Structure 1
């Protein structure tokens, strides 16, 4: 099962079927309440909450052209969601002289997330940006504020890696490019192994291609230790706060010597899981 939310004819709806293909979608009205608001009534379980909605509200058939997908479990107010992630987590990027906890960073609030097809904003003074195909974990603060895991999805943590290479202390600035996210929430444990391909299109033609590998087996660090250390900080505890946590990436186009440019389209094909993310890049005016 996958879970997604969308706007259909101005109202929020729930879907429980894969988003691949082009057939009409079967949607259940949410009656104005985001799914995340219903989790406390179901012990924080998105599957239980979604199944109850589906059982109470008959589906409507929706033309995909009228549907606007939303990030998984997006709350009504963007300030009630925090987008963050870990850096230098993968075995291919880590040497023996590493700390016991990877560096953590913040990318923005819920309104920084971009769905497939939407432009990813890049700061005007970016030095050199790079796509980062990643697994994204989704947590929601329980009634006491403790972040509880709800599921996972995929994302692109677009990063000004050139700025970070110039000055490692500027990681916080390097990470303020827009992140992309897939709309479907996958309940259950994060995937152990993910493989896929990146294609950068320039002027409508492929300009660079590369393979990537991610998932828990690719991590240098143990995920339970990573997340336990992060969420030990009570400043991140807030009832209902949605956390989108990006887990880091394999090497990408920058490491191969390619430089992304304004107007390029970055397509990530998570082929092992049948999910694709494609977004144009848009440099902000200087």
Structure 2
């Protein structure tokens, strides 16, 4: 069975837990230092991470929906410049008109830099977009988490799930140049780190709620079996670039998304609540869209 770990802050102190907590039910948390879990990734991989969570005997028992508990993105360093959110585009088989041949030569998919890890948002938090987006698109994705060791070697820690909200309308206005603008929306991730290889099968359902009612619903898949490219080729190609191998860097790598609201002609609006129910893994990622403030005109 896949082990799940998470980090949080409770009454000003940092803790970690094992397993997926259930809202309203008590869950045991263990005191950890800010870098405990990242160091365990470098020391020995998933088993070392699970053991590191319970190494400190100091514990508290609290419900995950306690108002004094604040969940954290997986392995996020305190220093915002020590983490990176980035990803691939056009990776899903649903966006190709054929299946890849078994021996097909690898062609790297389009790539983008999203921003610092400090830009990540968690379930329940708003996702801020530009003040006047053209056409927003939610994107349920697997996010691979890597930690670079002191020599700059990326060490795979596990995976979580994210919503790479973006303005596909801007991207379509100029596919070759404006994608970085399209990605200037906040991204959310679940706080749960699954200590296992990237999953072959991930299925779920997106619901867009407007004024408290479901305005759009659709299924999605984002496991490795849904991808056109091989994930080992994608990561090897990416980490061939030295700038992404800076010692100590935590890398959140989004693997791309299936077709969703935009492909069905639906427009996400300010105030809509996006609910990504990853049913295959028992987790939910929900965020409300919030249009950002326009820049004040200068006199």
Q: TM class by shorter-chain length?
A: over 0.9
Partner of 1:77: 79
Q: Secondary structure at the match of 1:165?
A: helix
Partner of 2:182: 174
Q: Is the contact made by 2:36 and 2:52 (CA closer than 8 Å) also made in structure 1?
A: no
Partner of 1:89: 91
CA deviations 1:115-161 (Å, max 9, x no partner) are 00000010113211110011110000011012111100111010100
Q: Is the contact made by 1:24 and 1:63 (CA closer than 8 Å) also made in structure 2?
A: yes
Cα separation, partners in 2 of 1:279 and 1:41, compared to 1, 3 Å = closer
Q: Following TM superposition, by how much is the alpha carbon of 1:94 offset from its aligned partner in structure 2, in angstroms? A: 2.5
Q: Following TM superposition, by how much is the alpha carbon of 1:24 offset from its aligned partner in structure 2, in angstroms? A: 1.6
Q: Secondary structure at the match of 1:258?
A: coil
1:153 aligns with 2:175: no
Q: Following TM superposition, by how much is the alpha carbon of 1:53 offset from its aligned partner in structure 2, in angstroms? A: 4.2
Q: Distance in 2 between matches of 1:205 and 1:33?
A: 40
1:112 aligns with 2:119: yes
Q: Distance in 1 between matches of 2:150 and 2:215?
A: 49
Q: Is the contact made by 2:24 and 2:63 (CA closer than 8 Å) also made in structure 1?
A: no
CA deviations 1:238-263 (Å, max 9, x no partner) are 11100000000000101100000000
Q: Is the contact made by 2:162 and 2:190 (CA closer than 8 Å) also made in structure 1?
A: yes
2:252 to 223, 244, 253: 244
Q: Following TM superposition, by how much is the alpha carbon of 1:46 offset from its aligned partner in structure 2, in angstroms? A: 4.6
1:48 aligns with 2:48: yes
Q: Distance in 2 between matches of 1:115 and 1:171?
A: 24
Greater Cα offset, 219-228 or 143-152: 143-152
Partner of 2:131: 124
Partner of 1:203: 211
1:225 to 227, 233, 236: 233
Q: Secondary structure at the match of 1:57?
A: coil
Q: Following TM superposition, by how much is the alpha carbon of 1:188 offset from its aligned partner in structure 2, in angstroms? A: 1.2
Partner of 2:61: 61
Partner of 2:143: 136
CA deviations 1:33-56 (Å, max 9, x no partner) are 33344237624x253144134133
Unaligned runs of 5+ in 1: none
CA deviations 1:144-184 (Å, max 9, x no partner) are 01211110011101010010111102111111111110001
Cα separation, partners in 2 of 1:206 and 1:226, compared to 1, 3 Å = same
Q: Distance in 1 between matches of 2:133 and 2:174?
A: 13
Q: Is the contact made by 1:35 and 1:50 (CA closer than 8 Å) also made in structure 2?
A: no
Q: Secondary structure at the match of 1:143?
A: coil
CA deviations 1:9-44 (Å, max 9, x no partner) are 0111010121234212210011x433344237624x
Partner of 2:198: 190
Q: Distance in 2 between matches of 1:200 and 1:263?
A: 10
Q: Distance in 1 between matches of 2:15 and 2:56?
A: 13
Cα separation, partners in 2 of 1:214 and 1:37, compared to 1, 3 Å = closer
Q: Following TM superposition, by how much is the alpha carbon of 1:267 offset from its aligned partner in structure 2, in angstroms? A: 0.2
Equivalenced residues, count: 284
Q: Following TM superposition, by how much is the alpha carbon of 1:194 offset from its aligned partner in structure 2, in angstroms? A: 1.0
Q: Is the contact made by 2:149 and 2:247 (CA closer than 8 Å) also made in structure 1?
A: yes
Q: What is the TM-score normalised by the length of structure 2? A: 0.90
Cα separation, partners in 2 of 1:276 and 1:41, compared to 1, 3 Å = closer
Q: Following TM superposition, by how much is the alpha carbon of 1:95 offset from its aligned partner in structure 2, in angstroms? A: 4.3
Unaligned runs of 5+ in 2: 295-299
Q: What is the TM-score normalised by the length of structure 1? A: 0.94
